Structure 1
Amino acid sequence: MGFFGNQFSDVVEWEEFRDDMIFWKWHNNEVKKGSRLIIRPGQDAIFLNNGKIEGVFEDEGEYDIESEIVPFLSTLKGFRFGFNSGMRVEVLFVNTKEFTVRWGTQNPINIPAPQLPGGMPIRANGTFQFKVNDYVGLIDKIAGVRDSYLVEDVKIRITAILDQLLMRWITKEGKDMFNLQANAREIGAGIQDDLNMELMDDGMKVTGFQVMSFNYPKEIQDMINKTASHGMVGDVSKYQQISVADAMAAGKGSGTASDMAGMMMGMNIAKEMMENQKADSGGGQNTGSPSPQPAGSEKAIPNFCPNCGQKIEGTKFCPNCGQKLV
């Protein structure tokens, strides 16, 4: 620590504050009697002497360094400002907020899959959160040799090992390779624990890690969508009935939907007529001429009304429209 400097500072504050800056170091200046310390919201000020912490000040506000700061410094509390003397110190300003960072895999991660001999290339993206939680570790590992540190620096470090961590947690036993989103929370929690071990010595803690989505190759995604569609349909005939009902309901406001419903109903009626006709003939082919009707016999009642298509149950009049049938 040096005294009697020629460059004095009246104010000690974070001069280059940025939202994405984790810490910034004020140094190479001497403070004189009457100098002030300014701590803004979301900042802590750490006084350093030869790389060691002298005092940590967390409350925002403006302070007189001689009367309100020096008395609380570990080894400098006996220092007295002389007429021409100043005190050379380093002050580390730390951003105390929780940072949120977006991440994404730079290259596809080739995940082993039994169905695909060459593996399945998957991309993923999401967010993670972190904050400074240990000033001693931060100073020993980073702030001791750097004047500032950005969120981008942490992001670069984390993304460098993220592919390995994703591979590790995706391939854990029991994961469905074609529905990884169902396990996204478990995968994210495992990666968060591993990242905490990585950053712990640097005085930082990962407070959250989220996987927003897994992205498959187009061919795989199309197959997943098709399989899901088949599973949703289930009973095809039931799905057809629901579709007809929906189309009829929509027909109140749409002629196209109504026409489609009518067409489908007509197709169903025609199909049923053909099946009934086949059943009446015993399922065989009629190779001869039709048997003549006995003289004086009544005309046969049709199976469907020629006017409205209603199925007939042996009556001489259509129960739907009243059409005479014989």
Structure 2
Amino acid sequence: MVFFKNQFANVVEWEEFRDDMIFWKWSNREIKKGSKLIIRPGQDAIFVNNGGIEGIFQDEGEYSIDSDIVPFLSTLKGFKFGFNSGMRVEVVFVNTKEFTVRWGTQNPILIPTPQLPGGMPIRANGTFVFKVKDYVTFIDKIAGVRDSYLVEDVKLRITAVLDQLLMKWISREGKDMFNLQANAFDIARGIQEDLDMELLDDGISIADFRVMSFNYPAEIQEMITKTASHSMIGDMQRYQQASMTDGIASGKVKSGGVAADMTGMMMGMNIAKDMMQNMNPDANRNQPSNPAAPSSGQRPNFCPNCGTKNEGANFCPNCGNKLA
């Protein structure tokens, strides 16, 4: 009798577990009296009979089929194991963890923009996170017709609609087409909501969606960089001055002796003067453009107009400028 008991015993467990596998189905076998169910951490076991869910078991551990499982099944709780009979059901093991997947556009997306009649060609990349949320829907739409389901299957499903969603939300939230990263959060949030609705019919939920970077063609990126540089300098004159200064400092522009050194020094002084004026515009407005003679009534020692020494006269003996 012991020989037959051991022969009929089965172990119901996830036999082909992989980190990238969302579910695996134990099927086409009879569960005998004395069989064991093994649930490992991060797994749920769903008993399915004739396409319907009989019971969901979520606590890890080892269970006896006839004493710990069958009494809790929906329509099979009264099942009695015979000597040569078993219970034929399917057991779907579901990976309960959240899956993080990297994504990237395979081809540039042409975003309509007034600056480029043919559209702005943009690539993007990032990550998304998903998990199985609704077991009833998941069994009905996915597990009921397949023996396993991989992360790659979900990724293919998402990338099939991702280009359209990127175009939709970039056009809606991309206020500055040349600085999309500033609106990356709003764009990603809109895409996440749409993807969540897309996969809701399969019982899968999108827990997070992120855009890590937007990539422009090389010529567009060069134009953006130049525009940013010009904005930082302020105007073209300062840009040229700064370029000349950088050239002298780096050695790309060779020094031509004393004259070139003086030119560089004067250029630096002019730039410093412009910077000081920009930093303190109020002081520049209050300072008179042509300094007048002191208003205290005292005669200056030298003429402020021509520099001739004053001998106490009211008018300069050289140019006739009024001194008091």
Q: Tell me, yes or no, if structure 1 residue 42 matches structure 2 residue 42.
A: yes
1:224 corresponds in structure 2 to 224
Indicate yes or no: 2:234 matched with 1:267.
no
Q: Check conservation: 2:35, 2:64, Cα contact below 8 A.
A: yes
Cα deviations by residue, 1:263-285 (Å, 9 ceiling, x for unpaired): 98632446799xxxxxxxxxxxx
Structure 1 residue 190 corresponds to structure 2 residue 186: no
Report deviation, 1:112. Answer: 0.9
Contact 1:128–1:210 (CA under 8 A) maintained in structure 2: yes
AA partner of residue 263 (structure 2): M
Residue of structure 2 in register with 1:172 after alignment? 172
Distance, in Å, in 1 between the alignment partners of 2:268 and 2:175 is 47
Kept after mapping to 2: 8 A contact 1:8/1:29: no
Name the residue aligned to 2:274. Answer: none
SS across alignment from 1:124: strand
Q: Which residue of 1 aligns with 2:163?
A: 163
User: What is the DSSP-based 3-state SS (H/G/I as helix, E as strand, rest coil) of the residue aligned with 1:28?
Assistant: coil
8 Å CA contact 1:9–1:30 kept in 2: the answer is no
The answer for unaligned runs of 5 or more in structure 2 is: 1-6, 270-306, 309-324
1:13-52 CA deviation, whole Å, 9 max, x = no partner?
0000001001000011111111100000000000011010
Alpha-carbon distance, 1:141 to partner: 0.6
- The 1:133–1:271 alpha-carbon spacing in structure 2 relative to 1, beyond 3 Å, is closer
Aligned residue in 2 for 1:104: 104
Q: Distance in 1 between matches of 2:268 and 2:45?
A: 85
- Partner-residue secondary structure (3-state), 2:228: helix
Match of 1:52 in 2: 52
CA distance in 2, matches of 1:161, 1:199: 11
Distance in 1 between residues matched to 2:9 and 2:148, nearest whole Å: 20
Residues 147-182 of structure 1: CA distance to partner in whole angstroms, max 9, x if unpaired? 110110011011001000001011116621111111
* Residue aligning to 1:113: 113
Q: Unmatched 5+ residue regions in structure 1?
A: 1-6, 249-254, 274-312, 315-326
- Counterpart CA distance in 1 for 2:170 and 2:142 is 32
SS in 2 for 1:186: helix
Offset, 1:219: 0.6
C-alpha displacement at 1:232, in angstroms?
2.3
Aligned to 2:139: 139
The aligned amino acid for 1:20 is D
**1:27 to 2:23 alignment:** no
Percent identical among aligned pairs is: 73
What's the CA shift for 1:233?
2.6
Equivalent pairs counted in the alignment come to 259
Task: Say if 1:107 and 1:31 are closer, same or farther in 2 by CA, change over 3 A.
Answer: same
The CA deviation string for residues 159-210 of structure 1, in whole angstroms up to 9 with x for no partner, is 0010000010111166211111111110000000001111001000001110
Change (3 A) 1:221 1:56: same
Is the contact made by 1:39 and 1:62 (CA closer than 8 Å) also made in structure 2?
A: yes
- Range with bigger deviation, 212-221 or 169-178: 169-178
Q: Which residue of 2 aligns with 1:281?
A: none
Instruction: Tell me the residue number matched to 1:150.
Output: 150
Residue of structure 2 equivalent to 1:297: none
Aligned to 1:318: none
Q: For residues 169 and 263 of structure 2, what CA distance do their matches in structure 1 show?
A: 53
Deviation sequence 1:237-277 (CA, Å, 0-9, x none): 69979x989x99xxxxxx98xx99x998632446799xxxx
Q: Residue in 1 aligned with 2:94?
A: 94
- Whole-angstrom CA distance in 1 between matches of 2:201 and 2:224: 43
Q: Distance in 1 between matches of 2:267 and 2:88?
A: 97
**Aligned positions of 1:59-98 closer than 5 A:** 59-98=59-98
Would the alpha carbon gap of residues 8 and 24 (structure 1) be closer, same or farther in structure 2, given more than 3 Å must change?
farther
CA–CA separation in structure 2 for the residues paired with 1:184 and 1:173: 9
How far apart in 1 are the matches of 2:265 and 2:202?
Answer: 76
- The TM-score normalised by the length of structure 2 is 0.73
Q: 1:212 — aligned with what?
A: 212
1:227-266 aligned within 5 A: 227-234=227-234, 266=262
In 1: Cα distance, 2:220 partner to 2:111 partner: 13
Aligned 8 A contact 2:108 2:123 in 1: yes
Label 1:174 to 1:111 Cα distance change in 2 as closer, same or farther (>3 A).
closer
Name 1:321's counterpart in structure 2.
Answer: none
The amino acid across from 1:64 in the alignment is S
Alignment partners' CA distance in 2, 1:143 and 1:43: 15
